[in-house]
Every structure is written in structure tokens, then in C-alpha cells.
Amino acid sequence: MAFQDNSGDIILDVVLTDEGRRRLAKGDDSFSIVKFALGDDEINYALFDTNAVSALQDLDILQTPILEAFTNNTSLMRSKLVSLANPDLLYMPVLRLNSSINGAEITSDGNYVVCVDKRTFDDRSLGTTNAIGYGTSGLKDGFLYGLDSGDQAKFIAIDAGIDSTDVSVIDEALIETSFIVEMDSRLGQIVSVDGTVVPGFKVDDDYVAMYTLTKAPGDPFVITPSQDSFEDSDSPIDGPIASRLQFKIRSSQDIRTSNFLFNRIGSTTSAYTNVSGAPVNDVKIIDSIIRVTGVTTGYSIDIPVRFAKI
């Protein structure tokens, strides 16, 4: 849904999502709008001009072109609007990729590399020089084992909190206890650090799998530290940390057993080296994005992930 003209009569452009059209086509009264969300993806609030007279300070914002309605869920509603009861809030929580804690380090290229099978990841037991998961000093930072077994402890971590030392405690209404994780289901799936599979995730017609991970007793995905542990030297967030999401990626059977997707949507690189430091030629790669969104605030972060195979 999008505003087409708000200069006089309010005109809305409304389209149904794929799921909405599916339910409407069923004709069994299952199409019923019970929830909706509002967003301001097009708005750049940095355009607010404090030096202008009061009536013109927000003029550039009001004149910003508005996108027409579209149904692509991978790019729709990146910035959702929220209603908060506390009028005294000065800071909103953010999500930050945490590559400081042991096991969650990122590669020097600024991404995570999922080695889709054992041959790609580990050359120690195979006696081959064609693996890229290990270097001369051991397990490489940012390289994840796509089979998710054995003693490989590498994972991805995201911290949610207030990125300011001016705040010591987060308002309860802003604590993220649930996250939505989206990724290409053709390439793999989300699992916990200990290998637990997420039950009940959904896959749409664009092959995007959506996982809802909610804090619960003994939950392996979402950790909520105590409020008094806000000064965490192992976090990229300077203020209080509300919660931490951590997970691993298990490669799909399709990319482990076939090169079809690598040939269709991937490429090759010689940028990686084996355990001896020699380059490994023609490593097949697929670059992708995993999006993590906080359910409470709607704040999202995109994590670059590369799937690699030799």
C-alpha cells in the first residue's frame, strides 16, 4: 500500500501480496485483514532543516517522492513504524553484527563463508590440499562448516541494544525477544549453535525462508543478558545489550550434491588458499544475504554470506 497523492483527498494505491491473492482465490472467507504495518522506507529524516524557518524545516521531507505499492517481500517495508507509550525516550535500539566474541569472527572480506561440504572445509582428515576452511594457524575466521557437525564452533551473532553510553538501562518495551531471519531456502537453513533445526518455518514463492526465533526457557537462539551487563567489551554496542541472537547455517542437500545452482546464479573465484597457503583455483561461490529483523522495533540488518564449494 502506498500514498499516491495527499495534497487534497487522500488517494491510496493498494495491492495484495502473494499470500493475500492466494487466500482471496480460495473463496472460503479465509481472506481477512486482521493486522497491518506502516513503514517509511522512502523518508530520509536527515533532510529536516533546522536552519530554516519553522514552516519550511520539513519541506524537503514532505516533497520526497513516494514509492508505488509493490509485493516483493525481499525489499518491502524495510523500516516499519512503531508506537511507543514512553515520550521520554532519547534512543532507539539497533542491531549490530557481533564479530568480536570467540567463534563469531568475520572474514577479512567482510562476509561469512559457508563451506557446503567436508571436502571444501576440512583437508586434515582427507589429506588433500584443496580445502579452504583451514589456514596455517588453524580454523579460519568467518568460515562456517555447512554440515554443522563435529567440533566446528563457528557461528553468526547479532546484538540488539542501545548504542550509546548515555543510557544504562533499556526500556522494557524496547527489548527484542523475538527475531525474524530470512534467507534463500535453496542454499541452506538456519540451525542453532548446537545444531537444532528451527521447526515450522515458512518458504514463499521466491524461495525465501522466514524463521521466527523467540526467546523461551532453554532457547538456543536468543539470549537475553541481565540489564546490569550493559558494558560488554565483547559487543559492538556501546550501551546496554537487550538480547543476542546466534545461529549457524546448514547447507542444503541441493548445493552439496549438485553444481546446478552454482552454475546458474553463482561464479568462481581463486581468492582462497588452502592450509599450506597456496591458492585454490576455481572455487564455486554463491553470494547471498541473510536478513535479521527485530520484531519489537522492526530494525533490520543484512548479513553477507557466501556459499563455497570446490
Q: Is residue 87 part of a domain?
A: no
The pLDDT of 228-241, averaged and rounded, is: 70
> Is the domain of 194 the same as that of 305?
yes
> Is the domain of 174 the same as that of 261?
yes
Nearest by Cα to 241 from 178, 161, 183: 161
**Amino acid found at 155:** F
| Kind and range of the H or E run holding 84 | none
Confidence at residue 184, expressed as pLDDT on a 0 to 100 scale: 96
Q: Is residue 84 part of a domain?
A: no
> Is the domain of 27 the same as that of 125?
no
> Is the domain of 112 the same as that of 56?
no
Q: Is 131 or 125 the better-scoring residue by pLDDT? A: 131
Task: From 43, 62, 81, give the residue that closes a domain.
Answer: 62
Confidence at residue 226, expressed as pLDDT on a 0 to 100 scale: 56
Which residues have CB under 8 Å from 273's CB, separation 6+? Answer: 132, 135, 279, 280
Confidence at residue 170, expressed as pLDDT on a 0 to 100 scale: 83
Confidence at residue 29, expressed as pLDDT on a 0 to 100 scale: 81
Grid cell digits, residue 226: 541481565
Q: Is residue 86 part of a domain?
A: no
The pLDDT of 81-108, averaged and rounded, is: 87
Question: Are 136 and 276 contacting, i.e. CB atoms less than 8 angstroms apart?
Answer: yes
Confidence at residue 10, expressed as pLDDT on a 0 to 100 scale: 62
Per-residue b or e along 161-178, where b marks 16 or more CB atoms closer than 10 Å to that residue's CB: bbbeeebeebbeebbbbb
Percent of the chain at pLDDT above 90? Answer: 36
Nearest by Cα to 155 from 163, 173, 139, 143: 143
The pLDDT of 177-189, averaged and rounded, is: 95
3-state secondary structure of 276: coil
> Is the domain of 99 the same as that of 159?
yes
> Is the domain of 295 the same as that of 194?
yes
> Is the domain of 236 the same as that of 301?
yes
Q: Is residue 76 part of a domain?
A: no
pLDDT band at 180 (very low <50, low <70, confident <90, very high): very high
Residue 12: give the domain boundaries: 2-62
Identity of the highest mean pLDDT range in 83-97, 149-163, 206-220, 261-275:
261-275
> Is the domain of 56 the same as that of 140?
no
- pLDDT digit string, tens, across residues 7-38: 556 666 777 777 777 888 888 887 888 777 77
